[in-house]
Chain A
Amino acid sequence: MNKQVETSDRKIIASKHVKLGQKNQKGQTYTDVNDIFYKAKQTPSFLTGSEVIRAAIKIASVGTSVAYPITPQSEAAALIGELYSEGYLDEYFRGESEFAVMGQCAGAAFGGHRVFTTTAGPGTLRAMENFPMWAGSRLPIQVCVTCRGINSPLSIQPDTLEMHYLLETGMLVWHAETAQDLFDFILKGFIVAEQPDVHVPIATCCDGFFVTHTKDTVELPPDDICLTPYDPYRNPQPVMDMETAPIRMMRDPFVMKSNYISYATHASWQQEIKAAVERSRKHTIPLLDGLIDEHNTDREILVVSSGTAVSQSREAIRLLEQEGIKVGLVKIKTIRPFPYEEVRQATKKAKHIFVPEFNVGGWLAREIKACIPDNERVYAGPHVAGGMTMPSEVIVDEIKKHLGMETAEAVSLG
């Protein structure tokens, strides 16, 4: 890397939007994201994850949001409807399917709006063709993915398998552990995704129900300030509003004339999307205080995880500590871009790396295995799926079993 990006600044390049400091029609003052999080007074509130999404969108200066009912995101999507009716958004409506909704979001983003939507599980998969289209078209749309099982059989319960499908879409993919993460990620996500050098969509993921339907204490900035608006002209592509040169412009053109040169254009285009995702590191590191969190990573046994599996791991680590077994923790916040270097460094001293996941695929373990030396150190598990909980005792048990320690028989899996 030609320059180390530090977390110490806790600040990204400040907004220069002309509306900075002015008030919107609801009387909220447009405020730089650094000031919202690091200057404004934060007040604790006790909210469900869905209410947290509402609280974030209330101060996110969103132009358009399109909704479609699917558990467990319906409540949040309906709450955004209330915000629209109170005048916090310019446009809001119910689309006819996730495929259509993501197209409607794209239309709004092509036209120059900040766009937010939510989906889950089967909805994510129904919408799937749109996600690489969003990325290839450089549309910085945010979709909050409240992860749930994918059919068949039908499940409305938490399961993070759908995130695996998002990994190569060209989107930023962030994974919130808690309601607080979700609030922060939504607001910071807009700012990172909309940087002109990034300008790709972002999936802010959280585990359905565990985060969306449980109440948690969340520190919130006051709601009389809000994010600076999206500036559609700080864009790596022309906005489709007939106010931008060139007027002879197709978003996005067919480059497939049948010869080598056009294929090179297509390949370069794809590389550019990947590059844009990489560029987000520079903006994300100071805003999220690093792409990972580390606790006691000098220990020989480590748990590396993302989402609510991290919360369960924290408790498991506390239980193990009581038995004298010392375990460190790495929490991964951004899955795309993946924190390769950070994970390599954090796992340097580990002899055993456990990766608990809420899905049968074990995609996070594979990502980690692919980027660290001596990857036989990685133990992919424990895994649960289809809405099962992951009791901390199960993590304790699996760690001990793998290390050849005696385990209590009391752990009930039923």
Chain B
Amino acid sequence: MSKEKIVLCEDLADIMPPEYQELVETATFGNQDRGWKDIGSSKELIEQHSLCAGCPESIAFRYILASLPAPEDTVFVGSTGCTSLVFPHVAVHNIHSLFGNQNAIASGLKRTLKARFPDVEKDVVVLAGDGATVDIGLDMTMQSWFRQEKFTTICFDNELYANTGGQESGLMQKGFVAKMAPNGKNFEKVRLPEIAREAGCAYVALLTVSKPNRVEQAIKNAIYVAREVGPTFVQLYTPCILEIGKQSMEGLDEMKESESIGGRFVQKEYITEEAQKLLDSIKEETKARKKAAKAKKPVNA
């Protein structure tokens, strides 16, 4: 939808709930330079959430929504879990269907939107938890990569099944004692970034959500590469503070600790040559565009 179409009918605008009036007035739809820095100065696309206080997923949601290059033409596909309680409150179309079939849904959706809107780039983004991505849905996750489906998969990795109460998942670290792993998990954390790389993802990133600029860059890279090159994957550590016994203000520390040297979430990226070329050219273009815009501005403005 073009930004011009995200407007209210004049004759009924004054009865709309405040959040919609604000959304129309100050959200950053149609602004190609939108990013995490808009948070606080413009209307965010997430209205409210019912996650636990201090849950890193909520901040991850905010960074991701602020980083989408074109939210007015983005459709999300989610899965069952904590994230699906947030999605109804997001000002971007999104689908929940079953637990684990998110990449199958996204495959059909992306192809259809491509066929229906050949002249508009409609970004499809999957956002699901680690249970949905790796355990019950791994087949469909990987097959969409094999088929080179051009959309982005984001995995909120909290290393367990959070919404059902803290059960073992494939992305849980070895030895962690959890429900359904009463003696501690007895196999290693699944190496999903490497699986993604080998399965054909053109861009893969693993990081925590402790630093918004890094999240923004990873999301933007992933979406740009998915448009032009092939499937992309971003794995974000969003610890479930509730189930690992932390306080609501300790999420950030947990993430910082896990991304420091030797940690499980030291940032890494796998980028194909073709994807890197594309990212470099986008970087150049953006630089040139910003420079030109600056030059155009009157000196005293």
Which residues in A have some Cβ–Cβ distance to B below 8 Å?
Answer: 63-64, 66, 90-91, 93, 95-97, 99-101, 103-113, 115, 129-130, 133, 137, 238, 240-244, 247-254
Contacts and interface: CB of A to CB of B under 8 A. Distances in A.
A66 B88 contact: no
Name B's interface SS: helix
Contacts, number: 147
A90 B116 CA distance: 9
A109 B90 CA distance: 21
Given A64-B111, A253-B88, A103 B105 contact: yes
Contacts of B128: none
Nearest to B108: A107
Contacts of A253: 87-88, 96
Interface in B139-188: 139-140, 143, 147
A383 B84 CA distance: 46
B98 A129 contact: yes
- Between B23, B93, B108, B109, the greatest number of chain A beta carbons within 10 A of the residue's beta carbon is seen for B108
B91 interface: yes
Interface string B4-29: 01100000000000001001000000
A63 B98 contact: no
Contacts of B115: 63-64, 90-91, 113
8 contacts: A90-B115, A91-B112, A105-B108, A107-B77, A107-B95, A241-B117, A242-B1, A242-B122
A247 B97 contact: no
Contacts of B75: 111, 240-242
A240 B1 CA distance: 11
Q: Place the interface of chain B in its size category.
A: 35 or more
A40 B116 CA distance: 29
A208 to B, nearest CB: 25
A242 B73 contact: yes
Nearest to B147: A93
Contacts of B94: 240, 249-251
Contacts of A101: 104
A250 B97 contact: no
A104 B108 contact: yes
Nearest to A239: B93
Interface of B: 1, 5-6, 20, 23, 47, 72-75, 77-78, 84-85, 87-98, 101, 104-113, 115-117, 122, 139-140, 143, 147
B109 A110 contact: yes
Contacts of A238: 93
A250 B96 contact: yes
Given A107-B104, A242-B75, A248-B47, 12 more contacts: A90-B112, A107-B105, A107-B108, A108-B111, A113-B112, A130-B101, A242-B1, A242-B122, A243-B5, A250-B78, A250-B87, A252-B97
Contact of B96 (A66, A99, A254): A254
A335 to B, nearest CB: 25
B108 A247 contact: no
Contact of A106 (B6, B73, B105, B111): B105
B74 to A, nearest CB: 7
Contact of A104 (B23, B78, B98, B105): B105
Contacts of B113: 111-112, 241
Nearest to B146: A96
Nearest to B8: A245
A104 B84 contact: no
